[in-house]
Amino acid sequence: MGEIEQRITREACTAITGAIEEAGGNEVFFTGMIDRSGLVTDITLCARGNRTAVP
């Protein structure tokens, strides 16, 4: 198991990756919810950057 999989669920990671791809690789800002073991399980996209600004 990779280090990222010890900190975030595969589903949350997929959601983050998809949002970054949709933003054309520009910076995005997320908040996340963790479970009792400290694993990030839910992601909320809060802001997107663009070519000249970041959130």
12 with 30: CB under 8 angstroms? Answer: no
pLDDT, residue 31, reads: 96
5 to 17, 25, 34, 35, 49: CA distances (angstroms): 14, 22, 13, 14, 26
pTM for this prediction: 0.80
pLDDT, residue 17, reads: 93
42 to 4, 16, 28, 51: CA distances (angstroms): 15, 10, 16, 27
pLDDT in tens, 1-55: 578 888 999 999 999 999 999 999 889 999 999 999 999 999 999 999 888 887 6
